[in-house]
Amino acid sequence: MLERTVWRQYHEENNFREKLSNFCKLDVIDIIENDKILYGVLKAKLTKKELKLFAMDTAEIDDEKIKAEFSYNDEELEKAKFKLYKKLKQDKTRLDFRESSTSEEF
């Protein structure tokens, strides 16, 4: 279903739900159950670069490879990670990952 996504380039499984729950401070059971819908929300909330950085960082790719991929230096990589994880913790982003946010739309 989501085999050709940025996430799957760096992860064997669609385990982004667990990773999101860690960073968004939400329980896994509160996060959208349908992987396709959840990934769509994730793509909508993050830029392509942020999504790729999230996938690479959570896959524990070496920082040197990440810096080479994005042409970052040490400081730029730290700023990018800080901005990404700050965005995931913001209410306007993280609350859209909750199951109740999709049931209100339908």
Mean pLDDT in residue range 63-90 = 96
Cα angle 24, 3, 45 (rounded to 5 degrees) comes to: 30
Residue 18 counted as domain residue: yes
In a domain, 29, yes or no: yes
Residue 105 lies in a domain: no
CB burial readout 10-47, b (16+ within 10 A) else e: bbeebebbebbbebbebeeeebbeebeebbebbeebbe
- Tokens (6 digits) for 12: 């064997």
The C-alpha atoms of residue 45 and residue 62 are separated, in whole angstroms, by: 25
Assess whether pLDDT exceeds 80 at residue 101.
Answer: no
Q: Does any domain span residue 59?
A: yes
Q: What is the pLDDT of residues 17-68, one digit of tens each?
A: 999 998 888 899 999 999 999 999 999 999 999 999 999 999 999 999 999 9
Indicate whether 65 belongs to any domain.
Answer: yes
Number of structural domains in the chain: 1
Q: Domain range for residue 85? A: 6-100
